[in-house]
């Protein structure tokens, strides 16, 4: 009976040979898996591209073409120059003569005119005059001057400017590049580490070579102090209340809903809040790190509260029960036992929240940290908080928005410094977590 | 810095109260702490708390209220006739404040004595000359009424601060005395202190509510102000965005539609990039990857989420933009005029959102119960068939929620579009055109502007309000969907 019906079933082949349908299904399986792998590869590829383009464009900001000239000014020359009408011009002439003789010493015969030197090095005369007026005891002894080359010359060394692309302008003429090559051969132009970029202040719109990020690092530092001093205690207090004390009622629900919504509000809205409340309403100073810190505090609070609550939650209830059992009050239980045990997690969350705040730019644009050119370090702690300053990301944005391409290099360099700070903070957070994290 | 001193003084009084109260209770107990209700430290804390907290509270409230009072008082002094047609009361008041700052500066640098600065009969030209000598910014707007108002402003302010200092110190001292008086061995100090701490905890938690309230109020008030100057229907349905920069010309077109279109277009491009990559990455990581690959690839992808947006902005402006121009620009296909375009910003924003989509989807896919997969395998499905026909449909609501959250991120993103998308507001379908977004225009309308009287500045608040409502709606919807889905499998 079964045999009869079996005859009608078409033979499908054996289990050991793979039929076309199975082949298709297996191929689909392989394809699907490959899609996933490709997606991850694309993500990692973007990461690599980002890293490479940051490093390639940013590292040149840390070096600077300099002209190193040994120069001796005699007392007679000093007196002569000071007696003239155009004092800095006289110094410049001495300097050019010295440069000429140094080139001849090395057997190089290049002719150049003072205007070319001015295009290459800027106003050398005033630099030299200032130095000797401040250090009169150096007159008569050989002094080595390191003079920063102009941003075009700097660009020529870094490949930003080439002979093909350069057009004669009042900033650089093609013939100047011959002089630059000769000076480079003679070892007079060298590439040195640009300390000014790390410690210096922002320069004017037309001087990308002299721009530094130091002052805005200080601005960011004061901002982070405000954020730390406010968001850590407030965030921890709010989390303790919500996690340990809050009764189940509408008020608690309201707080919870607010926190989860604030975590997703676009950062620029916090900027609007800062502008309207802190500047328009309270008349706090514009561009001040204090205001920036207040805005960033409000922005980071939800992050800190969420991570603090998670670490409070991870402390097992047995700890609380034991403390209550030996007669501690609820408050004592939390502050003497639960909080210390949750501290590493809270600290990790706080550092990550701070790192987020450090890189945030949009709210700072609205409270005026961008239009301001940070030229000088703050004079003291109070002035650090309330005097106008810039912050690292705002400074980077300012440079990126400027017309001169020389500033782009500075912006990338600024990003490297910003990322170094973020990386350090994150590594500290990871180390803290690894060392102190407790599994219950 | 008298404010800092006042603050430190209050803290010093509190510290003194702490020491005294603790010493008093120990003396009363005959140095035997067993007869006390609470530990001695609580008696001290009680006194310190009662002296510092009310005083500091009054200090903060006073600082908030005083500018209001002074502004109103000064504002009444300026006659309607002194306000020029091209100006407004708010601008004059800003001028008054600037003049008062100038007087402060002149007094502090010694260019003027305090009496001269207060002399109401002073000649305007003499005063302005001295102000500019002292380095203060003097504009032509300083007139006799303004100067009078500025002088009054200074007088009221300094009087206010003096009264405030006295009141705050008095409250601190009274609080200290109260706490000290209460200090007796049978006083339940711990309970009182713990109640105080609890109140502080509640206050800290309420800051979240205050922040939301602050956002909503600052947006609502300024938006209403804007709609008073500019018709709401033109704002919501206008198809042209052309603010005039001359000030109150009234010739500005402030229609939000081109901005909304730019915002959505860029967000869509970003999601088209981020969703497939993020979703496939999440599927691979949660279903296929060995634990070693997962341990490497997941944090690496999440690094993309930790990079500040300014970095992406610069990446768009200086790397991706020029690259796209090479391919699609005049030398290539000729579709693109400049590096800043919808495509540039969208692409880079997509990269930024990849980890956002992948982490959230990863969590959601992991939450699908293993029994569903096992059931599918048992019926003979391959792994990819299981994922496509069982896991993804089960996780779909959660994934939709994740995509909505990513969309809300994209809509609110600022730095990438400010740097990468261009500044021209236009309604166009070409993704290689420069367009602009709501966030970028908020930045350009508000940076460096301290005058909030013109519709050109106030429009930023209306834009912010729109942005806030849209992102809030998306977030609430997404959270609702995700929560609903989680409950299903818990």
Task: Find the range with the poorest average confidence among A151-155, A235-239, B470-474.
Answer: A151-155
What's the rounded Cα separation, in Å, for the pair A97 and A132?
17
Indicate if the pLDDT at residue A7 is higher than 60.
no
Of the candidates B161, B187, B213, which is a domain's last residue? B187
A175 interfaces chain B, CB cutoff of 8 Å = no
Residue A13 lies in a domain: no
Indicate if the pLDDT at residue B487 is higher than 80.
no
Are A194 and A268 in a shared domain?
Answer: no
Are B273 and B370 in a shared domain?
Answer: yes
Burial class of residue A64 in the structure, from the number of CB atoms within 10 Å of its CB (0-12 exposed, 13-18 middle, 19+ buried): buried
Per-residue model confidence (pLDDT) at position B479: 81
Segment A410-422 mean pLDDT: 92
- Domain containing residue B16: 2-187
> Per-residue confidence at B59, pLDDT binned at 50, 70, 90?
very high
A360 interfaces chain B, CB cutoff of 8 Å = yes
Are A127 and A234 in a shared domain?
Answer: no
Our CA angle for B328, B333, B336, nearest 5°, is 45
- Domain containing residue A173: 62-208
Indicate if the pLDDT at residue A109 is higher than 90.
no
Residue B93 lies in a domain: yes
The chain B residue lying nearest A35, using CA atoms, is B280
Per-residue model confidence (pLDDT) at position B42: 92
Segment B414-442 mean pLDDT: 86
Residues in chain B: 490
Task: Find the range with the poorest average confidence among A132-146, B255-269, B373-387.
Answer: A132-146
This prediction has a pTM of 0.85
Are B127 and B272 in a shared domain?
Answer: no
- CATH code of the domain in which B483 resides: 1.10.3720.10
Chain B interface test: which of A265, A296, A394, A395 (most B C-beta within 10 Å): A265
Q: Which residues of B touch A160 (CB under 8 A)?
A: none
- Containing H/E element for B242? strand B241-242
> Per-residue confidence at A231, pLDDT binned at 50, 70, 90?
very high
Are A52 and A66 in a shared domain?
Answer: no
Contact B253, B416 (CB under 8 A): no
CA distance B486 to chain A (A): 17
Indicate if the pLDDT at residue A12 is higher than 90.
no
> Per-residue confidence at A99, pLDDT binned at 50, 70, 90?
confident
Per-residue model confidence (pLDDT) at position A1: 46
- Summarised one tens digit per residue, pLDDT across range B148-204 is 788 888 888 888 888 999 999 999 999 999 998 888 888 899 999 999 999 999 999
Indicate if the pLDDT at residue A179 is higher than 70.
yes
Per-residue model confidence (pLDDT) at position B135: 64
- Summarised one tens digit per residue, pLDDT across range A255-299 is 998 998 898 899 999 999 998 888 887 778 878 889 999 999 999
Indicate if the pLDDT at residue B263 is higher than 90.
yes
Residue B224 lies in a domain: no
Are A55 and A66 in a shared domain?
Answer: no
Are B268 and B171 in a shared domain?
Answer: no
**Which tokens go with A431?**
């180390």
Segment A296-325 mean pLDDT: 93
Percent of chain A predicted with pLDDT > 70 = 92
Indicate if the pLDDT at residue B484 is higher than 90.
no
Per-residue model confidence (pLDDT) at position B133: 67
Are A224 and A82 in a shared domain?
Answer: no
Of the candidates A208, A238, A266, which is a domain's last residue? A208
Q: If you compute the radius of gyration of chain B from its CA atoms, what whole number of angstroms results?
A: 32
Are B313 and B455 in a shared domain?
Answer: yes
Indicate if the pLDDT at residue B316 is higher than 80.
yes
Task: Find the range with the poorest average confidence among B8-22, B132-146, B352-366, B471-485.
Answer: B132-146
Contact at CB, B300 and A415, closer than 8 angstroms: no
Contact B355, B305 (CB under 8 A): yes
Are A353 and A251 in a shared domain?
Answer: yes
Indicate if the pLDDT at residue A164 is higher than 90.
no
Residue B243 lies in a domain: no
- Summarised one tens digit per residue, pLDDT across range A377-412 is 777 777 788 888 888 999 999 888 887 777 888 899
Are A226 and A162 in a shared domain?
Answer: no
Per-residue model confidence (pLDDT) at position B167: 92
> Per-residue confidence at B277, pLDDT binned at 50, 70, 90?
very high
Per-residue model confidence (pLDDT) at position B82: 66
Q: How many CB pairs under 8 A join A and B?
A: 266
Question: If you average pLDDT over every residue of chain B, what do you get?
Answer: 85
Contact at CB, A362 and B476, closer than 8 angstroms: no
Contact at CB, A370 and B301, closer than 8 angstroms: no
Are A33 and A110 in a shared domain?
Answer: no
Contact at CB, B447 and A368, closer than 8 angstroms: yes
Of B198, B207, B308, the CB nearest to A360: B308
Percent of chain A predicted with pLDDT > 90 = 36
- Summarised one tens digit per residue, pLDDT across range B293-307 is 988 998 888 888 889
Question: If you average pLDDT over every residue of chain A, what do you get?
Answer: 83
Q: Is the dihedral of CA B465, B471, B472, B473 positive or negative?
A: positive
Segment A91-98 mean pLDDT: 79
Of the candidates B187, B215, B245, which is a domain's last residue? B187
**Which tokens go with B41?**
């430290």
What is the number of domains present in chain A? Answer: 3
Are A261 and A337 in a shared domain?
Answer: yes
What's the rounded Cα separation, in Å, for the pair B473 and B457?
25
Residue B51 lies in a domain: yes
Q: Which residues of B touch A265 (CB under 8 A)?
A: 215, 412, 468, 471-472
CA distance A155 to chain B (A): 16
Are A178 and A196 in a shared domain?
Answer: yes
How many Cβ atoms sit within 10 Å of the Cβ of residue B235? 21
What's the rounded Cα separation, in Å, for the pair A243 and A280?
36
Are B274 and B388 in a shared domain?
Answer: yes
Of the two residues B282 and B103, the one the predictor is more confident about is B282
Are A403 and A288 in a shared domain?
Answer: yes
Of the two residues A181 and B169, the one the predictor is more confident about is B169
Query: Can you give the three-state secondary structure of chain A, one letter per residue?
Result: CHHHHHHHCCCCCCCCCCCHHHHHHHHHHHHHHHHHHHHHHHHHHHHHHHHHHHHHHHHHHHEEEEEEEEEECCHHHHHHHHHCCCHHHHHHHHHHHHHHHHHHHCCCCCCCCHHHHHHHHCCHHHHHHHHHHHCHHHCCCEEEEEEECCHHHHHHHHCCCCCCCCCCCCCCCHHHHHHHHHHHHCCCEEEEECHHHHHCCCCCCCCHHHCCCHHHHHHHHHHHHHHHHHHHHHHHHHHHHHHHHCCCCHHHHHHHHHHHHHCCCCHHHHHHHHHHHHHHHCCCCCCCHHHHHHHHHHHHHHHHHHHHHHHHHCCCHHHHHHHHHCCCCHHHHHHHHHHHHHHHHHHHHHHHHHHHHHHCCHHHHHCCCCCCCCCCCCCCHHHHHHCCCCCHHHHHHHHHHCCCCHHHHHHHHHHHHHHHHHHHHHHHHHHHHHHHCCCC
Q: Which residues of A touch B324 (CB under 8 A)?
A: none
Are A70 and A196 in a shared domain?
Answer: yes
Indicate if the pLDDT at residue B120 is higher than 90.
no
SS3 call for B254 = strand
The residue to which tokens 């059931």 are assigned: B375
Residue A9 lies in a domain: no
What is the number of domains present in chain B? Answer: 2
**B247 backbone φψ class: left, alpha, beta (φ>0; ψ -120 to 50):** left
Q: Which residues of A touch B418 (CB under 8 A)?
A: 362, 365, 397
Are B266 and B164 in a shared domain?
Answer: no
């Amino acid at each position: 009976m079964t045999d009869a019906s079996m005859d009608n079933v078409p033979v499908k082949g054996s289990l050991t040979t793979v039929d076309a349908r199975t082949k298709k299904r297996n191929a689909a399986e392989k394809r699907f898996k490959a899609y996933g792998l490709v997606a991850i590869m694309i993500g990692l590829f973007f990461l690599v591209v980002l890293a490479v383009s940051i490093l390639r464009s940013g590292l040149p900001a840390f070096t600077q073409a300099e002209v190193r000239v040994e120069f001796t000014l005699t007392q007679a020359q000093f007196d002569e120059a000071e007696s003239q009408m155009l004092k800095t011009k006289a110094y410049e002439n001495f300097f050019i003569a010295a440069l000429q003789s140094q080139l001849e010493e090395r057997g190089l015969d290049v002719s150049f005119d003072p205007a070319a030197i001015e295009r290459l090095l800027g106003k050398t005369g005033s630099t030299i005059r200032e130095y000797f007026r401040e250090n009169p005891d150096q007159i008569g002894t050989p002094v080595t001057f390191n003079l920063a080359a102009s941003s075009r010359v700097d660009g020529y060394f870094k490949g930003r400017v080439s002979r093909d692309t350069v057009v004669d302008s009042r900033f650089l003429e093609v013939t100047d590049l011959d002089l630059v090559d000769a000076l480079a051969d003679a070892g007079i132009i060298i590439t040195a580490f640009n300390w000014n970029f790390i410690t210096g202040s922002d320069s004017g719109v037309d001087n990308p070579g002299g721009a530094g990020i130091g002052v805005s690092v200080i601005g960011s530092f004061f901002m982070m102090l405000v954020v730390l001093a406010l968001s850590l205690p407030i965030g921890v207090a709010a989390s303790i209340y919500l996690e340990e004390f809050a009764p189940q009622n509408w008020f608690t629900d309201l707080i919870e809903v607010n926190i989860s919504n604030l975590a997703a509000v676009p950062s620029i809205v916090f900027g609007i809040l800062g502008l309207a409340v802190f500047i328009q309403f309270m008349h706090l100073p514009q561009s001040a790190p204090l205001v920036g810190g207040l805005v960033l505090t409000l922005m980071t609070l939800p992050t800190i509260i969420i991570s603090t609550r998670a670490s409070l939650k991870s402390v097992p209830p047995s700890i609380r029960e034991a403390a209550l059992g030996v007669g501690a009050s609820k408050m004592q239980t939390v502050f003497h036992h639960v909080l210390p045990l949750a501290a590493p997690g809270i600290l990790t969350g706080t550092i990550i929240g701070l790192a987020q705040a450090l890189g945030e730019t949009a709210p700072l644009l609205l409270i005026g940290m961008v239009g301001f050119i940070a030229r000088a370090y703050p004079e003291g702690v109070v002035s650090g908080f309330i005097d106008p300053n810039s912050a690292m990301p705002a400074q980077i944005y300012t440079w990126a928005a400027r017309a001169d391409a020389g500033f782009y290099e500075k912006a990338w360099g600024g990003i490297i410094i910003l990322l170094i700070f973020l990386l350090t903070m994150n590594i500290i957070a990871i180390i803290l977590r690894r060392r102190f994290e407790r599994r219950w | 810095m008298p404010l800092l001193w006042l603050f430190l003084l209050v803290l010093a009084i509190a510290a003194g109260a702490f020491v005294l109260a603790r010493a008093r209770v120990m003396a009363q107990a005959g140095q035997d702490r067993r007869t006390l209700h609470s530990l001695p430290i609580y008696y001290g804390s009680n006194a310190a708390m009662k002296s510092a907290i009310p005083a500091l509270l009054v200090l903060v409230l006073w600082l908030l209220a005083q500018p209001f009072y002074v502004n109103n008082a000064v504002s009444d002094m300026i006659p309607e006739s002194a306000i020029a047609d091209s100006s407004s009361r708010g601008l004059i008041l800003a001028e008054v404040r600037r003049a008062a700052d100038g007087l402060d500066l002149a007094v502090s640098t010694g260019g003027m004595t305090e009496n001269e600065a207060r002399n109401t009969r002073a000649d305007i030209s003499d005063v302005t000359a001295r102000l500019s000598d002292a380095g203060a910014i003097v504009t032509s707007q300083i007139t006799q009424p303004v100067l009078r108002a500025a002088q009054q402003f200074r007088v009221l302010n300094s009087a206010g601060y003096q009264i405030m200092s006295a009141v705050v110190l008095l409250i601190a001292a009274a609080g200290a005395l109260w706490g000290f008086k209460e200090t007796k061995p049978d006083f339940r100090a711990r309970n009182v202190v713990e109640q105080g701490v609890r109140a502080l905890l509640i206050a800290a938690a309420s800051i979240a509510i205050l922040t939301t309230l602050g956002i909503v109020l600052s947006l609502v008030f300024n938006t209403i102000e804007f709609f008073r100057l500019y018709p709401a229907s033109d704002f919501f349905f206008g198809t042209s965005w052309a603010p005039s920069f001359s000030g109150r010309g009234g010739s500005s077109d402030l229609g939000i539609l081109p901005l909304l279109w730019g915002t959505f277009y860029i967000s869509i491009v970003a999601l088209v990039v981020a969703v497939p990559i993020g979703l496939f990455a999440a599927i691979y990581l949660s279903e296929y990857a060995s634990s070693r690959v997962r341990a490497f690839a997941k944090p690496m992808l999440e690094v993309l989420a930790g990079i500040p947006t300014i970095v992406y902005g610069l990446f768009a402006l200086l790397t991706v933009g020029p690259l796209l121009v090479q391919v699609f620009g005049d030398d290539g296909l000729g579709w693109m005029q400049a590096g800043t375009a919808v495509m540039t910003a969208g692409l880079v924003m997509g990269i930024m959102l990849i980890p956002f989509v992948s982490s959230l989807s990863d969590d959601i896919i992991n939450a699908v119960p293993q029994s569903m997969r096992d059931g599918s395998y048992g019926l003979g499905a391959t792994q990819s068939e299981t994922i496509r026909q069982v896991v993804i449909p089960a996780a779909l609501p959660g994934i939709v929620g994740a995509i909505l959250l990513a969309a809300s991120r994209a809509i609110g993103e600022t730095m990438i579009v400010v740097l990468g998308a261009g500044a021209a507001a236009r309604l166009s379908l070409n993704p290689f055109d420069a367009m602009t977004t709501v966030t970028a225009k908020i930045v350009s309308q508000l940076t460096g502007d301290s005058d909030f009287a013109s519709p050109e500045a106030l429009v930023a608040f209306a834009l912010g309000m729109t942005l806030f409502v849209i992102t809030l709606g998306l977030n609430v919807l997404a959270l609702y969907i995700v929560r609903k889905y989680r409950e299903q499998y818990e």
